[in-house]
Amino acid sequence: MGDCPVETATPGMIKPRTPTGVMELLPRDQIAFQRMLDTIRRIFEGFGFLPIETPVFELSEVLLTKSGGETERQVYFAQSTGTLEKAEAGLPELALRFDLTVPLARYVAEHEHELAFPFRRYQMQRVYRGERAQRGRFREFYQCDIDVIGKDALSPRHDAEIPAVIHAVFDALDIGDFTIQFNHRKLLRGWFEGQGIAGDAQLPVLREIDKLDKRGEDAVRATLAGEGFGLSDTVIDQLLAFSRVRSTGHDDALAKLEALGQGTALFEEGRDELREVLHRLKALGVPESRYAINLSIARGLDYYTGIVYETTLDAHPGIGSICSGGRYDNLASHYTRSKLPGVGISIGLTRLFWQLREAGLVATADSSVDVLVTLFDDAGLDHALGLSQQLRAAGLNVETQLEPRKLGKQMQYADRAGIRFVVIRGDDEAGRGVVAVKDLRRGEQFEVADADLARTLLVEREQWRALGQGAG
């Protein structure tokens, strides 16, 4: 081996590096990520959801409305240097949002008299959590949320529309077969009541049942039988048998619900609402292979009160939930006396994108630039600029080479940048009123009249998209 140059830092120069727990992408991966965002936005808007954005930071007293929650122990505070110099006691005034739900609660309470209810909102922004640094866990990440918020009441019919949105999103993203699994907190709590588990004792049991997929039955059984729970073997057997219930089709889901037998009033209310959701899903045209009841799903968050959702990729169960959410009775109880029930879901897109890329399910995208217009000499610059403007006016994304370079270098640049079409106009082409087009995807070159260039490239681009070869 020969001598390798040793990289040394210039005195006073800071080594460039990103903090741990963030995802920073190269341009063509960023394009792939951006296209996922665009697809999700399009579907959300297609179902009549309206966009909002909230500040990256909220007042600490507004954000930290509960105490002791796991998420709230991961909050980042925001302070100006001036405030730091004052060294005032107490919590900083501002904190970075750790999810989009608490800001939504504040937003709806603050603008309650200006909004039309039911209020249907989508929000796609970054959130911040002090996660422990490890692969696939992020401290800054995108969440893509939808919620329907009612005033005083919200029909359970909205609970069925949410899975239809989930289905449309993941069908459009085309990342493989998936299943939307759901359960109902009323069904669960009613079942617990029937086993003699009531009141405050229910929530710890709910949390343990929700851990079945991660911890396994033996570990959960040991916990439920141990200190703090002390449940009998008979009760634990009943709980675990209940949690094993899964459906494999629409009629099977209805049959499995029926087979649970009679229960408490709360149990029957939950079962009726699940049946309603199943019937509406059929009317909404969601394929029965895409949804199933799974009575082990509880969702660990305290505020869920009705249906709860978890979506998983069938071929990649190790990825875990790719979309989750549920129904809650009162979104903004900390900020208003009005009762604001709602239902919603969240997609943690940063983590999902990272996992899909690791699993080889999403690829680096082509450039968002359709065309590179080449330049051989300064005399051709005005024509290259004019031609580029014509192509842009026709709806193409165009980069113009502004300094002359050898054709090979320009081709190499376009290929590395992921640009599909290279437009070439040398003296020969200029004399015949044509341009040469190199299609770097197909590996072909053809000539076309100047006047037909834009139309030809648009047709080629749309044909490529129709074949599913790229998003352009």
More confident of the two residues 196 and 370: 370
By DSSP bridging, strand 421-424 and strand 371-373 are parallel
Burial of 181 from C-beta contacts in 10 A (0-12 / 13-18 / 19+): buried
- The tens digit of pLDDT for each residue in 144-197 reads 999 999 999 999 999 999 999 999 999 999 999 999 999 999 999 999 898 888
pLDDT digit string (tens) for 109-153?
999 999 999 999 999 999 999 888 777 789 999 999 999 999 999
Q: List pLDDT tens digits, range 215-266.
A: 888 998 998 988 888 888 888 898 899 989 999 999 999 999 999 999 999 9
Q: Is residue 342 part of a domain?
A: no
Euclidean distance between CA atoms 169 and 174, whole angstroms: 9
- Res 85: pLDDT: 67
Q: Mean per-residue pLDDT for 383-407?
A: 96
Count of the separate structural domains present in the chain: 1
* Residues in Cβ contact with 361 at an 8 Å cutoff, skipping those fewer than 6 apart: 175, 176, 316
Q: What is the mean pLDDT of residues 195-208?
A: 85
Pairing relationship of beta strands 304-313 and 178-184 according to DSSP bridges: antiparallel
Name the residue type at position 194: G
* β-strand partners of 368: none
Tokens encoding 266: 């709360």
- Band of pLDDT at residue 214, cut at 50, 70 and 90: confident
Tell whether the model's pLDDT for residue 4 goes beyond 80. Answer: no
- Return the CATH number at 431: 3.40.50.800
Q: Answer yes or no: is 338 within a domain.
A: no
pLDDT at 37: 97
Asked if residue 397 is part of any domain, the answer here is yes
In b/e form, how buried is each residue of 57-87, taking b as 16+ CB within 10 angstroms?
bbebebbbeeeeeeebeebbeeeeeeeeeee
- Which residues 6+ apart lie within 8 Å of 240 measured at CB? 217, 220, 221
Question: H-helix or E-strand containing 124?
Answer: strand 119-128
Q: Of 18-27, 186-195, 208-217, which range is least confident?
A: 208-217
pLDDT of residue 70: 60
Is 120 within a domain? no
Whether 222 is in a domain gets the answer no
pLDDT for the residue 472: 41
Torsion angle of C-alpha atoms 277, 279, 281, 286, degrees rounded to 10: 150
Between 217-225 and 233-243, two packed helices, what is the crossing angle to 10 degrees? Answer: 140
Range of weakest confidence among 8-12, 62-66, 362-366, 453-457: 8-12
| Rounded Cα gap, residues 168 and 51, in angstroms | 18
| Tally of CB atoms within 10 A around 127 | 24
Query: Can you read off the two tokens belonging to residue 378?
Result: 């300064």
DSSP string, 132-172: PP-TT--SEEEEEEEEEE-SS---THHHHHHHHHHHHHHHH
**The predicted structure's pLDDT at residue 89:** 61
Name the most confidently modeled range: 81-85, 175-179, 427-431: 175-179
Contacts of 282-286 with CB under 8 Å at 24 or more apart are 282/250, 284/160, 284/161, 284/164, 285/164, 286/163, 286/164, 286/167, 286/180
Q: Please say whether the beta carbons of 128 and 96 come within 8 A.
A: yes
Domain containing 439 equals 371-466
180 found inside a domain: no
Q: In 3-state terms, what secondary structure has residue 435?
A: strand
CA proximity to 180, closest of 163, 165, 168:
163
Q: What is the pLDDT at residue 29?
A: 94
Mean predicted lDDT score pLDDT of the chain: 90
Residue 87 in domain: no
- The answer to whether residue 408 is domain-embedded is yes
Q: Does residue 7 have a pLDDT over 80?
A: no
Query: What is the average per-residue pLDDT within 6-12?
Result: 63
Assign 55 to helix, strand or coil: coil
pTM of this prediction? 0.89
8 pLDDT band, cuts 50/70/90, is low
Token duo for residue 72:
């709230």
What's the pLDDT at 300? 63
**pLDDT for residue 168:** 97
So what's the pLDDT on residue 211? 83
Percent of the chain with pLDDT over 70: 93
Higher model confidence: residue 83 or residue 420? 420
